[in-house]
């Protein structure tokens, strides 16, 4: 149990900033498998994916915007399939800010 946010942040950093194979695989599994919950606001889904991407980058995993936008698109719930299809077919370069 952490007494304040600084201690909580340190505890998270101690766990996730280790660049061990097990940690890297766990984070990648979470990143690539992070699913959109259609009952939650879309910004929570986007934040979840981008937070995991930040953790992966913090341990030295090379991710570019395409990796992140691809995960965001292919893990959208089926209720968002029209949007996912439009984004997939888009000829323009997508970025996280899109």
| Band (98; pLDDT cuts 50, 70, 90) | low
**Encoded tokens for 83:** 């949007």
Count CA atoms closer than 13 A to 64's CA, side-chain side.
Answer: 3
**pLDDT (tens digit, 9 = 90+) per residue, 3-53?**
777 777 777 777 666 668 888 999 999 999 999 999 999 999 999 999 999
Instruction: Write down the domain spans for the chain.
Output: 41-98
In this prediction the pTM is 0.74
Q: What is the mean pLDDT of the chain?
A: 87
What is the structure's pLDDT at 17? 66
């Amino acid at each position: 149990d952490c007494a304040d946010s600084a201690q909580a942040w340190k505890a998270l950093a101690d766990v996730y900033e280790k660049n061990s194979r097990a940690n890297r695989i766990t984070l990648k599994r979470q990143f690539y498998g992070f699913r959109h919950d259609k009952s939650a606001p879309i910004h929570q889904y986007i934040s979840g994916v981008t937070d995991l991407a930040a953790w992966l980058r913090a341990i030295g995993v090379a991710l570019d915007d395409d990796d992140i936008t691809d995960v965001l698109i292919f893990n959208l719930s089926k209720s968002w399939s029209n949007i996912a299809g439009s984004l997939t077919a888009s000829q323009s370069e997508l970025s996280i800010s899109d």
